Amino acid sequence: MARRIVVTSGKGGVGKTTVSCNLAVRLAVLGYRVALCDLDFGLNNVDVVLGVENLAVYDILDAVEGRCRPRQALIRVPEYPTLYSLSSNRVSGRYISPQAVRLVLDSIAPQFDFLILDSPAGIEEGFHRAASCAEEALLVTTPQLSAMRDADRVAGILKCYRFPRVGLVVNLVRRDLVRKGETLHPKEVASALRLPLLAAVPEEDKLLLNGVSARVRAFRTLADELLSEEEKEGKRR
């Protein structure tokens, strides 16, 4: 059965969806079957980031409301044979229950190793809908104090869900600002939020080491940190 990991953040603009997409791609590159589920019904741009926005016939709301079967709403990402997108649509004034979304995810879960759930930022209804469908969580923040303050609120609420694993991704890290003391080091961010640091993702790369950018290496680290030894061993066989 698929591991269900919600990716969330305290505020918008910290790169939560980018982290979700890059993590999903990295897991797919490793050979895992991954469904990236867009549960951000307000912005819903996972399909745009993955470049499959013109391939969608149905979305998760069609599945929730019975216009299609859940598997019909899945879109295979052409570049990655084991990666699928479950897109959403903008919802205005409509209540979509966590139970309805969970039923759709339950239906597709046996086909996958991972369900990555892209959650709305903040702590409103959409966040709780996504979190209630997950079994693990990744919290994304930047080193800025305003983002950390909002992330701390989300971290406190995630503890109420009693997830066995909650990890931290510090995104958009600028090493020059860290060296100058203008932003905190990612390890200091993790210490302040009292969460294990799984990856620190740089804002930009001007220097490539062996042809691989620091951002790519950061997402490799994130995927590696998420995988259990049993999962790694299974792929090596």
Q: Furthest-apart CA pair in the chain: how many Å?
A: 55
Provide the 10 A C-beta neighbour count for residue 111.
Answer: 14
What pTM was estimated for this model as a whole?
A: 0.93
Q: Domain count for the chain, please give it.
A: 1
- For 27-63, write each residue's pLDDT tens digit: 999 999 999 999 988 777 898 899 998 898 899 999 9
Q: Which two tokens stand for residue 64?
A: 């929730």
Within 8 A by CB and 6+ apart from 114, the residues are 2, 3, 4, 5, 24, 27, 32, 33, 34, 35
236 falls in which pLDDT band (50, 70, 90)?
low
- For 77-94, write each residue's pLDDT tens digit: 999 999 999 998 766 557
Q: What is the CATH number of the domain that holds 19?
A: 3.40.50.300
**Which domain does 147 fall in, by range?**
3-236
Instruction: Give Cα 172 to chain centroid, integer Å.
Output: 15
